[in-house]
Amino acid sequence: MGKVVMYASVSVDGFIADENDQPGPLFDWLTSGDVPLDDSGFVKVSRTSYDYIRPYWDEIGVTIAGRHVFDMTDGWDGEPPAGVDHVVVVSHRPRPDGWHPEAPFHFVDGIDAAVTTAQELAGDRTVELAAGEVGGQVLAAGLVDEVRMDVVPVVFGSGKRYFGSVHAQHLLEDPDVVIQGDRVLHLRYPVRRR
C-alpha cells in the first residue's frame, strides 16, 4: 500500500488558516512563480518549488479531507483537486442530495474507514491527508507515514492549527527534505514509529 502523507501550507507559527478559515498569504507562493504547476494556468510556482511539488502531486492517488473542507470548497465542484483520482470525505453526513452523483468522492464515517478506503483506492500510490482536525486525528491514531509542510513566512497568531487539536506528543524524524523556494520553505518529515 502507498504511504499516508499529511500535507498543507502553514504559517511559521503552525496555522493553516485564520479564525475565519481564510488562508491569507499562505497560498501566495502558488501563484507568484513563472512555472505552471498544473493545466489551469493559475497555479504558477518557482522552478525550485515545481521540481519538488510536481513529482509529489503525480504520486497522489487519493486525498482525504474533512467535511468542513468539503463544504467550504463545495467539493471542488465535483472535480478532485490537483488531478487526484478520488477524494475520501470524513463525515457523519452522507453525500449531499443531488451533488455531482458521478464524482469520485467517497463519504465515510471515521478516520479508520477513511484511511482504509483511501488506501484501497490508491493501491501503491500516495494517500494525501489534509492537515487540520482530520489530519491531526489520523496522526494521533498512528496512521500517518510522513508530514509535509510548505512553511510560509507569516505569523497568524491564532487560527486553524496544522495538527488540529492534537494534545499528545508525536515525534517526527529529522527532516529528510528541506528546500527553499520563493516565499516558502518545503519540509518533509518521516513520522517516527513507536
**What's the confidence (pLDDT) of residue 74?**
93
Give tens-digit pLDDT for 145-157. Answer: 999 999 999 999 9
Q: Is 71 helix (H, G, I), strand (E, B) or coil?
A: helix
Mean pLDDT of the region 90-104: 94
Q: Count of CB atoms within 10 A of residue 128's CB?
A: 29
CA–CA separation, 137 and 143 (whole Å): 9
For 101-152, what is each residue's pLDDT tens digit?
Answer: 999 999 999 999 999 999 999 999 999 999 999 999 999 999 999 999 999 9
Judge whether residue 167 has pLDDT over 90: no
Tell me how many degrees the CA angle 107-111-115 measures, rounded to the nearest 5.
Answer: 80
**Is the pLDDT assigned to residue 41 strictly greater than 90?**
no
Model pLDDT, residue 130: 97
Domain ranges of the chain: 4-190
pTM of the model: 0.95
What's the pLDDT at 194? 67
Fold adopted by 4-190: Dihydrofolate Reductase, subunit A (3.40.430)
**pLDDT value at position 177?**
97
| Mean pLDDT value across the chain | 96
